[in-house]
A and B are shown apart, each in its own frame.
Chain A
């Protein structure tokens, strides 16, 4: 029985809760308690959690770029500028991208499917298999990342990834965010907004940005999480499931 005023209040609370992460509230403001669990981690991540995502391709609207823009801002990708003198077309192909739009067309029926693709956070990640230094690794909670302190920029992982999920930083980056360090000569890819998760938040920027609710994120090992419930309720697929990588990102309505 939610009245409109109730809804308004809820929206306000939602926005206010989101704001606590960006603004220091005045002392004594009650909204602090809303973010009670939003404390930075002090204990190691465990395999009791596996982060994953379900993307409903029927809800992903052609021409919409909201999730990509949100990702770019959250992870500072919009601060990476084209190196001086670089070719436009080359830059377009090589600039760092954590989320890509993919359009599938069934040649028989002509049906077109729009989907967004990022690192699929494979359980058996080929990028980790091929990495000569141990920089590519999988965290206990299933997030596949690059430890850029160790990465030598050989780009083996880029070749090995079946999903073209990884980007290479070709030139010095002038401005970086504290939450998203980045430098020349390393490889990077979607990390499920790991800084948010480690600071107690439970959503990714892309999920928050999608007005069409095409992205559901959560803990695959928690049967009550929205993502687990959605996976249980609807048929879903892994892209290139023939590779048997057991991806953490799944798709419906392909």
Chain B
């Protein structure tokens, strides 16, 4: 499918943007250590996630807080779990740290977000 191929192409393009930044130091995410790095697609197709991830998370937050629904693919805890990388010592790096998944795009797009004022930035206990 052309859609799938263009996603892969985009992914390669985007990731190549962040390659070659030098080797990771302690506290810096190592390339390929996030669960998401091993997957071909997010919980929705990548273009949909790019445009609408905040709607999904916001909708899910109301369902979770008010109706107790936890087993959803649109949970913020799921985002963090999948997208957090590990540093050289294997410690998870916060997703909103400089150069990490959430931060890179939000920094680029100059969009502030408040999720992590309250929510954990590394994969959870449980």
Q: Which of B70, B119, B120 contacts A198 (CB 8 A)?
A: B70
* Partner-contacting stretch, out of A3-11, A35-43, A52-60, A242-250: A35-43
| Contact in complex: A42, B69 (CB < 8 Å) | yes
| Contact in complex: A178, B68 (CB < 8 Å) | no
Q: Is A194 an interface residue (CB 8 A)?
A: yes
Decide yes or no: A41 and B71 within 8 Å by CB, A147-B66, A177-B124, A178-B125 being known contacts.
Answer: yes
| Contact in complex: A148, B118 (CB < 8 Å) | yes
Contact-residue bracket for chain B? 20 to 34
| Contact in complex: A41, B65 (CB < 8 Å) | no
Q: Which chain A positions have C-beta within 8 A of B126? A: 21-22, 178-179
| Contact in complex: B125, A22 (CB < 8 Å) | yes
Q: Which chain B positions have C-beta within 8 A of A70? A: none
Q: Which chain A positions have C-beta within 8 A of B71? A: 39-42
User: Shortest Cβ distance from B86 into chain A, in angstroms?
Assistant: 17
- Secondary structure at the A interface, as helix, strand, loop or mixed, is loop
Q: Which chain A positions have C-beta within 8 A of B72? A: 42
Decide yes or no: A147 and B125 within 8 Å by CB, A40-B71, A183-B117 being known contacts.
Answer: no
Please name the residue on chain B nearest to A194 by beta carbon. B68
Q: Is B123 an interface residue (CB 8 A)?
A: yes
Name which of A21, A177, A197 has the most chain B CB atoms within 10 A of its CB: A177
| Contact in complex: B65, A145 (CB < 8 Å) | yes
Total interface residues on A, CB under 8 Å, equals: 33
User: Shortest Cβ distance from A81 into chain B, in angstroms?
Assistant: 16
Residue-wise, chain A 19-59 has the 8 Å CB interface mask toward B (1 for contact) of: 00110000000000000000111111100000000000000
Q: Is A14 an interface residue (CB 8 A)?
A: no
Q: Which of B68, B119, B124 contacts A45 (CB 8 A)?
A: B68
Q: Is A121 an interface residue (CB 8 A)?
A: no
| Contact in complex: A184, B124 (CB < 8 Å) | no
| Contact in complex: A179, B118 (CB < 8 Å) | no
Taking A41-B71, A137-B66, A198-B70 as known contacts, 13 extra A-B pairs with beta carbons closer than 8 A to each other, sorted by chain A number, are A40-B70, A41-B70, A44-B69, A139-B67, A141-B68, A145-B65, A176-B120, A178-B80, A179-B126, A181-B119, A181-B120, A195-B70, A197-B68
Q: Provide a sorted-by-A list of 11 A–B residue pairs whose CB atoms are within 8 angstroms.
A: A40-B69, A45-B67, A45-B68, A139-B67, A147-B66, A172-B117, A177-B125, A178-B123, A179-B125, A181-B119, A183-B118
